[in-house]
């Protein structure tokens, strides 16, 4: 096996030639560099049917398989199926980045899915869940030439921590909507404005990783409205000037900037129309897009249409609105009109996908699922 390739055969018995065997008892060991984080939630089965990699499998019931790999972009190919039972698998890459959602496979059938994973911290954590998860084989290959879609933004975009589930940002849900040719590198951080993100050196981190033909999606505004000196910008002047730094930085690297207007909050007028809580910040982004000939995804307008179509009550299903006892990590309940629960973040990521298509952002349009 090449040093830059990892191939795993899941199940029972001997490994197929060229693969490392992973059984239900393969607990992660730093000395080995791979394994399940919780083997109490893993079962292995040998169906004793033909097909070297198809014969046996593991059933990882809501647990993670960790592989120590260098930081970078990777393609991950999974073989999933079961000779005698239907399978339904959801796959995420920590922290909570959705790669496959309820991928169903009929009994006796097998599929191979290839996804892209962005790794930071020296390890890849793949979390399996779903009503009937299955994994037969897994191959991990570096993808240094893949297009990287960098995200710069705030809490509505960021990878929310897994211990806050179902709290999620739309950037966390975006990978499932893109083919493995594009790797989503979500650098968005809660509480940041266009100014504080730069002042903290976060744009520099992106630009140091960025290569020609990558993309940078830029969505700020929520925290630029805040009055504190660290974050505050003025729509027609400093806000535009800070956004211009993202545009110039990407273009200097031979990459492509894309402006995204702020996603709307859930605040309605008595007549059922959504309040514009972002004021002139939205128009400032639209103006800058026109002035600098930068593609625009008008997420503010698209989310306004979605929320008004749903109505004030149904729109709660997008946001972190939960009754006491409804969300395990928020036992006392929560009423949040800004941040999304996972199902809502999936809907917003769908609007981003729609925006890519409508703005004809090439070649991303070719890589939409």
* Per-residue pLDDT tens digits for 277-314: 999 999 999 999 999 999 999 999 999 999 999 999 99
CA distance to 29, 82, 157, 211, 340, per residue, from 343 (Å): 34, 28, 14, 32, 8
Sign of the alpha-carbon torsion through 52, 53, 59, 65: positive
C-alpha–C-alpha distance, residues 164 and 161, integer Å: 6
Q: Which residues pair with 218 in a beta bridge?
A: 152, 259
Span 121-149, average pLDDT? 96
C-alpha–C-alpha distance, residues 113 and 83, integer Å: 18
Q: Choosing from 155, 196, 303, 353, which is the catalytic residue?
A: 155
Spatial CA neighbour of 60 closest among 40, 84, 85, 34:
40
Pull the structure tokens for residue 322: 């939960």
Contact 194, 233 (CB under 8 A): yes
Span 182-189, average pLDDT? 97
SS3 (DSSP) at 342: helix
At 199, is the pLDDT very low, low, confident or very high (cuts 50, 70, 90)?
A: very high
C-alpha–C-alpha distance, residues 316 and 98, integer Å: 22
Residue found under tokens 């992973």: 22
Q: Which residues of 263-299 are buried (b: 16+ CB within 10 A; e: fewer)?
A: bbbbebeeeeebebbbeebbebbeebbeeeebbbbbb
Is the pLDDT assigned to residue 1 strictly greater than 70? no
Query: Is 155 among the residues known to form the active site?
Result: yes
| pTM for the structure as a whole | 0.94
C-alpha–C-alpha distance, residues 206 and 18, integer Å: 36
C-alpha–C-alpha distance, residues 284 and 16, integer Å: 58
Non-local (6+) Cβ contacts of 215 within 8 A are 147, 148, 149, 150, 250, 255, 256, 257, 258, 361, 364
Residue-wise pLDDT tens digits, 305-364: 999 999 999 999 999 999 999 998 999 999 999 999 999 999 999 999 999 999 999 999
Residue 345: per-residue pLDDT: 97
Q: Choosing from 200, 230, 291, 335, which is the catalytic residue?
A: 335
C-alpha–C-alpha distance, residues 353 and 349, integer Å: 6
Residue-wise pLDDT tens digits, 31-44: 999 999 999 999 99
Span 269-276, average pLDDT? 92
C-alpha–C-alpha distance, residues 276 and 280, integer Å: 9
Pull the structure tokens for residue 204: 């520099």
Greater confidence (162 vs 24) lies with: 24
Q: Choosing from 187, 222, 278, 339, which is the catalytic residue?
A: 339
Pairing mode of beta strands 72-81, 110-119: antiparallel
Is the pLDDT assigned to residue 2 strictly greater than 70? no
Residue-wise pLDDT tens digits, 234-258: 999 999 999 999 999 999 999 999 9
At 163, is the pLDDT very low, low, confident or very high (cuts 50, 70, 90)?
A: confident
Pull the structure tokens for residue 274: 């959504």
Task: Examine residue 95 and say whether the peptide bond preceding it is cis (omega within 30 degrees of 0).
Answer: yes
Residue 3: per-residue pLDDT: 53
Residue 4: per-residue pLDDT: 83
Q: Which residues pair with 149 in a beta bridge?
A: 184, 215
Span 96-100, average pLDDT? 96
Contact 91, 99 (CB under 8 A): yes
Q: Which residues of 75-91 are buried (b: 16+ CB within 10 A; e: fewer)?
A: bbebbbbbbebebebbb
C-alpha–C-alpha distance, residues 294 and 287, integer Å: 10
C-alpha–C-alpha distance, residues 242 and 219, integer Å: 12
Start-to-end CA span in the chain (Å): 31
Q: What is the mean pLDDT of the chain?
A: 95
Pairing mode of beta strands 6-10, 334-341: unpaired
Distance from the Cα of residue 139 to its chain's centroid: 20
Q: Which helix (H) or strand (E) holds 9?
A: strand 6-10
C-alpha–C-alpha distance, residues 115 and 95, integer Å: 16
Residue 164: per-residue pLDDT: 86
Spell out the domains of the chain, with CATH numbers in brackets: 6-142 (2.60.120.430), 147-367 (3.40.50.1110)
SS3 (DSSP) at 361: coil
SS3 (DSSP) at 10: strand
């Amino acid at each position: 096996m090449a040093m830059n390739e990892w191939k795993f055969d899941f199940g029972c018995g001997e490994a197929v030639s060229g693969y490392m065997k992973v059984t239900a008892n393969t607990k992660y060991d730093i000395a080995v560099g791979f394994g399940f984080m919780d083997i109490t939630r893993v079962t292995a089965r040998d169906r004793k049917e033909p097909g070297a990699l198809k014969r046996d499998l593991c059933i990882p019931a809501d647990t993670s398989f960790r592989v120590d790999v260098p930081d970078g972009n990777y393609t991950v190919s999974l073989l999933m199926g079961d000779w005698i039972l239907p399978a339904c698998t959801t796959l995420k890459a920590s922290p909570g980045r959705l790669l496959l959602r309820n991928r169903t496979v009929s009994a006796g059938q097998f599929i191979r899915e290839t996804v892209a994973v962005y790794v930071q911290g020296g390890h890849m954590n793949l979390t399996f869940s779903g009503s009937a998860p299955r994994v037969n084989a897994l191959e991990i290959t570096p993808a240094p030439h893949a297009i990287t879609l960098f995200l710069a933004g705030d809490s509505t975009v960021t990878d929310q921590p897994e211990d806050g589930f179902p709290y999620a940002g739309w950037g966390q849900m975006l990978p499932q909507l893109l083919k493995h040719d594009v790797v989503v590198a979500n650098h968005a951080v809660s509480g940041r404005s266009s100014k504080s993100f730069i002042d903290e050196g976060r744009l520099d981190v992106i630009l140091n990783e960025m290569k020609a033909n990558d993309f940078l999606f830029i969505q700020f505004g929520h925290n630029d409205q805040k009055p504190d000196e660290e974050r505050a910008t003025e729509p027609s002047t400093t806000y535009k000037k800070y956004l211009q730094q993202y545009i110039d930085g990407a273009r200097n690297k031979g990459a492509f900037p894309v402006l995204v207007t702020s996603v709307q909050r859930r605040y309605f007028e008595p007549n059922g129309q959504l309040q514009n809580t972002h004021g002139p910040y939205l128009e400032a982004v639209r103006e800058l897009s026109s002035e600098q000939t930068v593609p625009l995804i008008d997420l503010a307008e698209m989310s306004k249409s979605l929320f008004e179509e749903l109505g004030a009550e149904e729109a709660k299903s997008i946001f972190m609105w939960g009754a006491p006892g409804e969300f395990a990590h928020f036992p006392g309940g929560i009423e949040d009109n800004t941040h999304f629960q996972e199902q809502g973040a999936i809907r917003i990521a769908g609007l981003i996908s729609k925006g890519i298509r409508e703005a004809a952002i090439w070649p991303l349009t070719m890589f939409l699922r």
